[in-house]
Amino acid sequence: MGAFSRVIETESEKETEALGEQLASCLAPGDILALHGELGAGKTCLVRGIARGLGVDEGSVASPSFTLINEYEGRLPLVHLDGYRLDSAEAFEELGLEDYFEGEGVLVIEWAEKVPDLPEERIDIAIQWLDENRRDFRISARGPVAERLQAAGLILAPV
């Protein structure tokens, strides 16, 4: 199955969180979301919405930049990993972080470009600043999750 994709624009933090909540409604155990975007682009804001959609108290969601990983209990467990401080593939492997690829919950990875050998079946979300409030979210997915996101209107079939 090829990659499916779509660009969705949000105009506020509230809309970004709502997008995350909508994404969460499509997620299943083992799903991986790889977030890409510059510092302050809205990655953690999106994760707060995903957390709310998974039944996690989104007020407890913070960027795991200093802890590397935060785990939350909800309808599905949520693992929030931040790759920003990973300086090499060896560091990732030494910490045993690839074990999270086989988890029973949802894995969301900020700064996913710093994480080696991401599973092919995943959701990639590239976030781009448009201005102070507006963001573009380019969502693409491969594997069974792509069908769930397409059914929800979050991604479109390839042309």
Band of pLDDT at residue 1, cut at 50, 70 and 90: very low
Residue 40: CATH number of its domain: 3.40.50.300
**Residue 157 located in a structural domain:** no
Q: Domains in the chain: how many in total? A: 1
3-state secondary structure of 78: strand
Residue span of the structural domain in which 90 resides: 4-151
3-state secondary structure of 19: helix
CA atoms within 13 A on the CB side of 16: 22
**Residue 42 located in a structural domain:** yes
**Residue 158 located in a structural domain:** no
**Residue 16 located in a structural domain:** yes
**Residue 130 located in a structural domain:** yes
Model pLDDT for residues 22-62, shown as the tens digit of each residue: 999 999 999 999 999 988 888 989 999 999 999 997 667 77
Model pLDDT for residues 89-148, shown as the tens digit of each residue: 566 666 666 666 777 899 999 888 877 788 899 999 999 989 888 999 999 998 888 888
Place of tokens 């030494």: 94
**Residue 101 located in a structural domain:** yes
**Residue 159 located in a structural domain:** no
Long-range contacts of 66-75 (CB under 8 A, 24+ apart): 68/95, 69/97, 69/100
